Structure 1
Amino acid sequence: MANDAASNDLAGRRVAILATDGVEQVEVTRPRDDLRAAGATVELVSLSTDPIQSMNGDITPSDKIDVDKAVTDVSADDYDALVLPGGTINPDGLRVNSDAVSFVQAFFHAGKPVGAICHGPWTLIEADVVRGRTLTSFPSIRTDLRNAGATVVDEEVVCDEALVTSRNPDDLDAFCAKLIEEFAEGRHPVRAAGATA
């Protein structure tokens, strides 16, 4: 763990990581490990309880990752915060699943903090929660974000109230540190934009 967040800043907090096959492995394992080191309980939520196939990049399969809960068996009420890792295939699978999209929307309706890295914001676009917000992402989806009403910047980590975004795995130090800070703060005022309008 690079940020040495071995504290109990997140003691009592429950965090969901929402992912499916094709997820970038390090974008699951690094936030999970850092959040746990900061005291959070972290669960991997997916489209089913079957292990998911992670990737190193979009071409090289990596480890299978065990899933804790299916998205149909949980609610945003069960968690204090949400993380959306990237990989190209993963968010593409999530954004066509209505249960996954509704799960994401519910965090925004409740003003709960959310983190998304790399291609993860694709799911935010489908959930209609980026309008009027400032984000960063992997370069290839920035036009999609702008078309959905977001302001896009090229920075290693961006925090727009309770929404934390980063560009790629090289930004994980900054991303994880900001997740811990925002998740410790807890709920924010609900924004009257996108799905919360």
Structure 2
Amino acid sequence: MPSITQAKILIMATDGFEQSELEVPKAKLAQAGAQVTVAAPKSRQAPDSIRGWDGADWGRPVAVDADIESLDVSAYDALVLPGGQINPDKLRLEPKALEIVRGFVSSGKVVAAICHAPWLLVEAGAAKGRRMTSYASIKTDVVNAGADWRDEPVVTDQGIVTSRNPGDLDTFSAKIIEEIEEGRHDRAAA
């Protein structure tokens, strides 16, 4: 079992992420001792940051540590996907982002997606046959992709962690830490 203090976590996002859904897990994982890297596509608007969505307007920028094109899935222990409507909708059009999601799923590493971010699991072919949750408005998308959708704060299926909304962030973050410390999970590839 790896310790969270030795874990390397990748948060993948782009402009339009739900502010709290990136900042809260990032802070909680770092406070627990993990090394956290934020990565975004080159196509993002600013060269060194991405901008969140907070309430009804643009939020604060968050520094970007890496371009997704240069990422090596083997260098990380877990992938965290923040939601918001804009962020995952943009990312699911990025072939490299989907390649990264598939790489984490097939490797058995922890993948955590909140709010609208399960759209990336759907697009990557990783939802079928899994227990999942999401923001209520994409429930039909998740169900149509073959998942067993649950209205619960956090749903875990063999190291794939999903949550509904910002109100679930504390439980979501705690479950990510727990799953990382369990180690790799045997599961079908995306």
TM-score by length of 2: 0.94
Which stretch of structure 1 is more off in the superposition, 86-95 or 48-57? 48-57
- Structure 1 residue 69 displacement after superposition: 0.3
Q: Distance in 2 between matches of 1:186 and 1:84?
A: 19
Match for 2:137 among 130, 136, 140? 140
Query: Counterpart in 1 of 2:182?
Result: 185
Query: Counterpart in 2 of 1:164?
Result: 161
Query: Counterpart in 2 of 1:34?
Result: 28
SS at match of 2:141: helix
What value does the CA root-mean-square deviation take over the aligned residues?
1.3
Query: Counterpart in 2 of 1:55?
Result: 53
Is the Cα contact below 8 Å between 1:46 and 1:71 reproduced in 2? Answer: yes
Q: Distance in 2 between matches of 1:107 and 1:171?
A: 23
Stretches (4+) displaced over 3 A: none
Structure 2: gaps (5+ residues): none
- The aligned length equals 185
Is the Cα contact below 8 Å between 1:9 and 1:38 reproduced in 2? Answer: no
Report sequence identity in percent.
47
Is the Cα contact below 8 Å between 2:12 and 2:38 reproduced in 1? Answer: yes
Q: Spell out, residue by residue over 1:94-129, the C-alpha distance to the aligned partner (whole angstroms, 9 max, x if none).
A: 000000000110001100011110001011111000
Q: Distance in 2 between matches of 1:125 and 1:75?
A: 22
Q: Distance in 1 between matches of 2:118 and 2:142?
A: 8
TM-score by length of 1: 0.91
Q: Distance in 2 between matches of 1:27 and 1:9?
A: 23
Structure 1: gaps (5+ residues): 1-7
Q: Spell out, residue by residue over 1:122-156, the C-alpha distance to the aligned partner (whole angstroms, 9 max, x if none).
A: 11111000100010100011100111110101001
1:88 aligns with 2:85: yes
Is the Cα contact below 8 Å between 2:158 and 2:187 reproduced in 1? Answer: no
AA in 2 matched with 1:150: A
Is the Cα contact below 8 Å between 2:50 and 2:62 reproduced in 1? Answer: yes
1:110 aligns with 2:107: yes
